Amino acid sequence: MYPITPGVSNLAEGVDKTFMILFAISLFFLIGITIVMLWFVYKYHKKRHPVPSKSKGNNTLEVIWIVFPTIIVLILFYYGWIGFKPMRDVPEGAREVKVIGYMWDWDFEYENGKRSKDLYLAKDEPVKLNMVSLDVIHSLYIPAFRVKEDVVPGQTNFMWFIPSQVGQYEVLCAEYCGLRHSFMDAKAYVMEPEEFQSWLADFDPEETEHKGLIIVRNNACTGCHSLDGSKLVGSTFKGLYNADRNVTEDGKQITVKADDEYLLESIYEPNRKLVEGYPANVMQSYRKIITDEDVMHIIDWLKSEEMR
């Protein structure tokens, strides 16, 4: 009868308890009122009850059904609030993880600088997610933990919880954010604390990334342009430099080389030379967002061995 399995975080109990109370009260009123209504329709049908009563109302009843529902909704409010309150009270010493949401992917950054595309968590250890967006509003939603908070550009929102069961759970984006909104998902892996520690330590902070890659990632380019040759909304970065591109310019089909000049133009005026097979107007100009110097870093990175 009950459609969901119990949640697996410390916050789930308050949420699920509120669900149970709401479910019981809703069912009681829905079924009760419906039965009374249908019973009246049957019992006071014209055939069985030809002469209607002259009653116009009853003040005692009005008072009862003003006061009684008011008490019930206040009780429901109370349970909703009690179940919610701990969601805003972060305990001291919670592990802080930075969440970066962008069109259309998540990055998670841990205290030692390690980054991951999925969220790694230690069982029974409180974690606080500090969430920022690089572009539009997203919303981090982990149904199994009963947590959700919008990820809003220009401000840092937070959520916290203690995962209580080892396993693999869905991380979804709940706030509509454009083309690939429904594909903006990740996994949350809950591990035993020791296992988590060794995962976290498996990281070499010396291994520096190319500046161009950092710029590309910070501007959320990788939401549409893959690094591994797969086709997303836009063309892949892999092997892009100096490749032949079949493009449409002013309605004419031409073939150009993806050289420095082409790449600069495609970042600043993406719809001028439109590569065959990709829609117009999805990408906007980055002229005001990425400086000339940073574009040079990106091109430099595209020339690098890892991207050829």
Partner 1 sequence: MAKLDTPALEQSFLNNHGKNPIRAWLFSTDHKRIGILYLLSIGFFFLVGGLLGGLMRIELIAPGETIMDPQTYNGVFTVHGLIMIFLVVIPGLSAVFGNFFLPILIGARDVAFPKLNLLSWWLYIFGAILAISSQFLGSGAPDTGWTFYAPYSTETGSNVVLAVFSAFVLGFSSILTGLNFIVTVHRMRAPGMTWFKMPLFPWSLYATAWIQVLATPIVGVTFLMIVAERLFQIGFFDPSLGGDPLLYQHLFWIYSHPAVYIMILPAMGVVTEIIPTFAKKHIFGYKAIALSSLAIAAVGYFVWGHHMYTAGMSGTARWFFSFLTFIVAVPSAIKVFNWVATMHKGSITVRTPFLYTLAFIFLFMIGGLTGLWLGALATNVHLHDTAFVVAHFHYIIFGGMGFAFFAGLHYWYPKMFGKMYDEKLANVAFVIIFIGFNLLYFPLFIIGMQGMPRRYADYLPEYTGGHFWSTMGAIVLITGALLMIYNLIIRTRKKGTPAEMNPWGGKSLEWTLESPPKEHNFDEIPTITENPYNY
Residue 71 or 201: which CB sits closer to partner 1? 71
Q: What long-range pairs does 246-252 form, CB within 8 A, spacing at least 24? A: 246/275, 246/276, 247/273, 247/274, 247/275, 247/276, 248/273, 248/274, 248/276, 249/273, 249/274
List binders of partner 1 among 98-137 (CB under 8 A): 135-137
Decide if residue 30 touches partner 1 (CB under 8 A): yes
> 227 and 218 in contact (C-beta within 8 Å)?
no
Choose which of 106, 141, 189, 262 interacts with partner 1 (CB under 8 A).
Answer: 141
Tokens of 83: 């179940």
Least distance CB 98 / partner 1 (angstroms): 16
Q: Give the Cα separation of 80 and 146 in Å (integer).
A: 13
The one-letter code for the residue type at 171 is: V
Least distance CB 83 / partner 1 (angstroms): 3
Q: Which stretch, 17-25, 188-196, 243-251, 256-264, contacts partner 1 (CB under 8 A)? A: 17-25
Decide if residue 1 touches partner 1 (CB under 8 A): no
In terms of Cα–Cα distance, which of 82, 86, 68, 88 is closest to 25?
A: 68
How many alpha carbons fall within 13 Å on the CB side of residue 2? 12
Q: Give the Cα separation of 211 and 214 in Å (integer).
A: 5
Decide if residue 247 touches partner 1 (CB under 8 A): no
> Hey, which residues does 146 pair with through a beta bridge?
none
Q: Give the Cα separation of 135 and 101 in Å (integer).
A: 8
Q: Which stretch, 42-50, 111-119, 260-268, 295-303, contacts partner 1 (CB under 8 A)? A: 42-50
Least distance CB 247 / partner 1 (angstroms): 18
Residue 110 or 145: which CB sits closer to partner 1? 145
Choose which of 148, 187, 210, 211 interacts with partner 1 (CB under 8 A).
Answer: 148
Decide if residue 70 touches partner 1 (CB under 8 A): yes
Least distance CB 45 / partner 1 (angstroms): 5
List binders of partner 1 among 164-183 (CB under 8 A): 170, 172-183
Least distance CB 88 / partner 1 (angstroms): 5
Least distance CB 95 / partner 1 (angstroms): 21
Tokens of 37: 């209504």
Decide if residue 187 touches partner 1 (CB under 8 A): no
Residue 46 or 208: which CB sits closer to partner 1? 46
Residue 218 or 242: which CB sits closer to partner 1? 218
Least distance CB 303 / partner 1 (angstroms): 29
How many alpha carbons fall within 13 Å on the CB side of residue 82? 13
Choose which of 24, 33, 243, 254 interacts with partner 1 (CB under 8 A).
Answer: 33
Residues 6+ apart with CB under 8 A from 244: 255, 256, 257, 258
